[in-house]
Each structure stands twice: as C-alpha cells, then as structure tokens.
C-alpha cells in the first residue's frame, strides 16, 4: 500500500518532474556549485615519484566524480540502466578519491560497491520488474551492514595500524551499510528502497545543518527531494503494472 496518497493529476505532474531532463540539469548545477563553494576544487594531493615532487589536482577530479554520481542517480531514478553503468564505472574514481583523502578502508569497501553496482546493471538488463518488500529486501539490508562492519573493522584494525576510533568507525560503517543494502536492493527495484536512501540523506542533511555547512545541505536537500519523487513514481508504476 502506498504511504503517499495523491490524485491522478498530481501523480502525472510528479512523474513528469521525475522523468524530466530539466531536473537532471538542476541537480547537476546544485552539486557542482556546492562542491565549488565547499572549496573541493582547491584540494591537492602531493606525492613524490622517483625523487620528484608532484601535485595531483584532486579537487577537480572530485567535482567530476560528484557530477557523474548525480547523473547516475538521476538516470536510475528514471529507470534508465545507463545510470547503473555510470555508477559502476564511477566506483573506481570514487574509491580512489576516498582513499587519497584518508579512508584506507576504501581498498576493501569499494570493491564490494563495484560488484554490487555491476550486479544491479546486469540484473536490470534482464528484468525491470518493480517489486513489493519481501524477505530478500530485509536480507540485503542485513548483508549490507554485515559487509560494512566486517570490512571496516579489518581496515581500522589492520590497515590503519592505529587504535580504533570507534566514533569514526561507526560514522563510516553505518552510512556504508546503508549504501551497501540500498545498492543490493536496487537490483530488485523495490520502490520502498527509496526510504533506505532517504534515511541516508536525512542523516547527512542533519549532520551538515548542525555543522552549518549550507552548501552540502543544499546538495542533500536535492537528494532528499529526488528520493521522494522517485518513490512516488516507482510505487505508482508498480501499482499500474499489477493491474
């Protein structure tokens, strides 16, 4: 049963917004502007190779990564499998950036994300059936948190080679668990899976509002809005497919 009751006319408007190209452009502008305002473009990674010092413009690569993530997210919202392909390929870039920014556990967690995103892409090529919540939905959530906790523990314990900062551990492991579970469930196209992403968006939005990070708050506000219309559109499409 739908958690949101809307008239057919309102549903038509919302679905046209969901599937519009204009919203793609708006989202892209928001995330790129937020990245620039946050100063991501100024981030540099300095390293030495064969006795020479180099500077890698990590910030600009991060902005490209953010833009690709937004495009992938919007295409998935429109049930376009190219979005999953973009997300799968972009996992390499995201993992590399995360690692260079200090998340040493990225070498363990991002391969899981890559495999999960590829499985979503491969599954959508075979079937695009919108499903109701079942046992597999909950199983995938449990598996997501299991992989996140185990892999991050290994990273914090053996790769970081320092005492475990448990606050930082859970600050990384919990969002990663949500991401893993949400990605696993995207393969089966559950409309209710948008609530998993919504929980992630809300936690990030609250976090950035408390930090008075207005630019990042704007970015997650857009993701929050997109998850709402994504759920409404997918849920209505599922009901119509069952008739």
pLDDT in tens, 50-100: 778 878 888 888 888 888 999 999 999 999 999 999 999 999 888 888 888
How far apart are the C-alpha atoms of 160 and 174, rounded to whole Å?
18
Q: Which of 135, 181, 191, 190 lies closest to 4, judged by CA?
A: 191
Q: Which residues pair with 48 in a beta bridge?
A: 53
With 70 as the cut, is the pLDDT of residue 211 above it? Answer: no
The pLDDT value given to residue 9: 87
Q: What is the rounded average pLDDT of the residues 28-38? A: 85
User: Which of 178-199 are b and which e, b meaning 16 or more Cβ less than 10 Å from the residue's Cβ?
Assistant: bbbbbbbbbbbbbbbbbbbbbe
Q: In the structure, how many helices (H) and strands (E) does the chain have?
A: 9, 2
Q: Give residue 243's pLDDT band: very low, low, confident or very high (50, 70, 90).
A: low
CA end-to-end distance (rounded Å), the chain: 14
In sign, the C-alpha dihedral spanning 13, 199, 118, 68 is: positive
> 96: which residues sit within 8 A by CB, 6+ positions away?
106
Confidence of residue 1 (pLDDT cuts 50, 70, 90): very low
Cα 133 to chain centroid, rounded? 21
How high is the mean pLDDT of the chain?
88
Contact between 90 and 72 (Cβ < 8 Å)? yes
Cα 168 to Cα 150: distance, rounded to the nearest angstrom? 15
Q: What does the pLDDT read at residue 231?
A: 96
pLDDT score of 29 more than 80: yes
Distance CA(158)–CA(37), nearest Å, equals 36
Rounded (10°) angle between helices 166-186 and 106-126: 10
> Which H or E element spans position 110?
helix 106-126
125 pLDDT tier (thresholds 50, 70, 90): very high
pLDDT given at position 50: 73
For residue 186, pLDDT over 90 is answered with yes
């Amino acid at each position: 049963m739908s958690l949101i009751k809307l008239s057919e006319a309102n549903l038509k408007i919302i679905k046209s917004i969901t599937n519009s190209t204009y919203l793609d452009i708006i989202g892209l502008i928001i995330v790129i502007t937020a990245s620039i305002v946050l100063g991501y473009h100024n981030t540099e990674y300095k390293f030495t190779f064969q006795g020479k010092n180099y500077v890698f413009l990590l910030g600009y690569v991060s902005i490209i990564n953010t833009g690709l993530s937004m495009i992938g997210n919007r295409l998935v919202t429109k049930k376009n499998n190219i979005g999953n392909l973009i997300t799968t390929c972009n996992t390499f870039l995201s993992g590399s950036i995360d690692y260079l920014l200090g998340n040493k556990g990225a070498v363990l967690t991002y391969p899981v994300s890559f495999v999960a995103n590829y499985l979503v892409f491969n599954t959508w090529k075979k079937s695009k059936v919108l499903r109701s919540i079942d046992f597999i939905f909950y199983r995938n959530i449990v598996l997501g948190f299991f992989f996140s906790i185990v892999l991050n523990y290994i990273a914090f314990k053996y790769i970081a080679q320092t005492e475990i900062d448990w606050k930082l551990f859970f600050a990384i492991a919990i969002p990663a668990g949500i991401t893993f579970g949400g990605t696993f469930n995207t393969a089966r196209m559950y409309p209710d899976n948008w609530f998993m992403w919504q929980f992630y968006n809300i936690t990030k939005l609250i976090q950035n509002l408390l930090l008075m990070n207005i630019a990042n708050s704007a970015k997650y506000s857009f993701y929050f809005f997109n998850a709402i219309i994504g759920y409404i559109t997918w849920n209505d499409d599922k009901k119509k497919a069952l008739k």
